[in-house]
Structure 1
Amino acid sequence: MTELLLAAGVAGVAPWQLVGFCFLLFSLATVTVLAASGVAGIGVLFGLMAGFAPIVMLRGRATHRRSTHAAMWPDAVDNLTSAVRAGLSLPDALIQLGERGPDELRDPFVHFGHDYQSSGRFHQSLDLLKDRLADPTGDRVVEALRIARDVGGGDLGRMLQSLSSFLREDQRTRGEIESRQSWTVTGARLAVAAPWIVLLLMCFQGDAARRFASPTGLLILGGGALTCVVAYRLMLWIGRLPAERRILA
């Protein structure tokens, strides 16, 4: 959960607070739907949906943030390359990204400037920068700069330029694939959500909802929930794109 919170860019929230919030939503949804339907099974199912909603939202936010950063990194690397070739030191080149870099990436570099100016420890400030970025591309850039700082990097500008070209090509390819499969993903989500929306509406019709209170009704609910989860996860697995991992974290 700590990694998920970092990847989603949520600061100041501890994992136990996230768990507590999920449990609160589970309890509220369960009690509310149970009061409306009078069927414990329906209440628990919608409670579970509500309880997992923050996790799903954080994963979506992390995916969106990763995509946004991926689109911004080529410009950030170009900016960094220009600064290095202009003769700026590595710390100064990183600090100026907090002022001139892409908007979505400025905040971590602003904090890097504060960390470095207060401590003067370049490597420690880089570690904190990596934690705030929580990004595979950011890891590679940071580690390249760390090595350049330690052993000297005469070809650092050329390496950053090559990295920028690779990132642009990768982003272009991914964008084309994602645009083609987006309608399929949207249709699958709608297909999974539709029966549960109907069931929620049935909760306000007492006689219709109470039919699910029998063992057969509970079995149908459980089987339907399991089928939806398995089918949706299978669809995501089949249509997934390879994602970079933070191997240098």
Structure 2
Amino acid sequence: MNIILGLTLGIGVFLIWLSCWEQPAKEPRKNTFDSKIRLLLHQADVHRVSAKMFYLISICFALFLGLVIFALTALYNLALLSTCLGCIAPWMMIRQRAKKRVALMRELWPDVVDHLRSAIRAGLSLPEALMQLQYRGPEELRPSFEQFSADYRSTGEFVASLNRLKERLSDPTADNIVEALKVTREVGGTDLSKLLGTLSEFLRENARTRSELEARQSWTINAAKLAVAAPWVVLCLMATQPGTVHIYNSFSGFMVMLSGLIISIIAYRLMLKLGELPEEKRVLV
């Protein structure tokens, strides 16, 4: 009894002592996968689709793909695997779209820098030069600079408007340009025109080199896609025979298809990884 009383008293004293100290507020845990999906959607210029909506679209697409495969082949094992694979198909399509848009933006940024340099040499201030890009910049980037112009006119905060522009673009090259403009705005200097000229030359040289490497790499990627798709096309053609349907609808047939799917995914990812060019990383995000 004395032991229980002593423990109770000790716990009470500890709780009183603990209440005298301020507990730090816990930061909400960030879902890194959600942030990656949102970044991909921004890079693919799909701003109206949220991460949750993207998950819903992926599930609906997976179910639709499974039903189509089952209707064409009558192989429910293949339909099940197709449904699982269909969950990641929208992610692959968005990723491919994002890569194409980043490559397109890489070709446009030197023109943006040239327009900025010309406007600054003509006597315009840095915010005015950026706002002029909604009229004189590349067609694909005009909506983003139009939003920057409206944002800057409504708030008058140049750095905050630049940060929001950087978030909308979600592009590694845009990050470098925005950070250079922020430093120039805060620190000042008279060599901005020279800096922009050097940056334009560097961006053009980088885009030219990457375009040549990607053109030489394209045959490897096409061969990988053909090598992965060919066995499954043959399987769908074989499904027109009743004996094939009976064999592949068994457990042994399911294990054969599952093993083939795993090997196909590993081989495809390995081939892409070996020939992949290093991606530019976003800075100060």
Q: TM-score range by the shorter chain?
A: over 0.9
Contact 1:37 1:206 in 2 (8 A): no
2:234 maps to 1:193: no
Aligned length: 249
TM-score when scaled to structure 2? 0.83
Q: Which residue of 1 aligns with 2:213?
A: 177
2:36 maps to 1:9: no
Which runs of 5 or more residues in structure 2 are unaligned? 1-36
2:253 partner amino acid: G
Q: Which residue of 2 aligns with 1:66?
A: 102
| Secondary structure, aligned partner of 2:88 | helix
Q: Measure the CA separation in 2 of the matches of 1:28 and 1:202.
A: 22
Q: Which residue of 2 aligns with 1:237?
A: 273
TM-superposition CA deviations, 1:53-106 (whole Å, max 9, x none): 211110011000000000111111111111112111111111111111111222
Per the TM alignment, residue 158 of structure 1 is displaced from its structure 2 partner at its CA by 1.1
TM-superposition CA deviations, 1:29-68 (whole Å, max 9, x none): 2233334444332111111233222111100110000000
Q: Percent identity?
A: 45
Q: Which residue of 1 aligns with 2:31?
A: none
TM-superposition CA deviations, 1:129-172 (whole Å, max 9, x none): 00111111101111111111112132111111111111111111
1:132 partner amino acid: R
Find the partner of 1:149 among 185, 196, 199: 185
Distance change >3 Å, CA 213–CA 8, structure 1 → 2: same
Q: Measure the CA separation in 1 of the matches of 2:226 and 2:151.
A: 46
Q: Measure the CA separation in 2 of the matches of 1:246 and 1:111.
A: 21
Report 1:80-119 matches (<5 A). Answer: 80-119=116-155
Provide the alpha-carbon RMSD of the alignment. Answer: 1.5
Which structure has the larger Rg?
2
TM-score when scaled to structure 1? 0.95
**183-192 or 202-211: bigger deviation:** 202-211
| Secondary structure, aligned partner of 2:284 | coil
Q: Measure the CA separation in 1 of the matches of 2:62 and 2:242.
A: 22
Report 1:151-170 matches (<5 A). Answer: 151-170=187-206
Contact 1:37 1:205 in 2 (8 A): no
Q: Which residue of 2 aligns with 1:139?
A: 175
2:58 maps to 1:22: yes
Task: Determine which structure has greater relative contact order: mean sequence separation of CA pairs < 8 Å that are 6+ residues apart, divided by chain length.
Answer: 1
Q: Measure the CA separation in 2 of the matches of 1:49 and 1:188.
A: 17
TM-superposition CA deviations, 1:9-36 (whole Å, max 9, x none): 1011110000001101112222333344
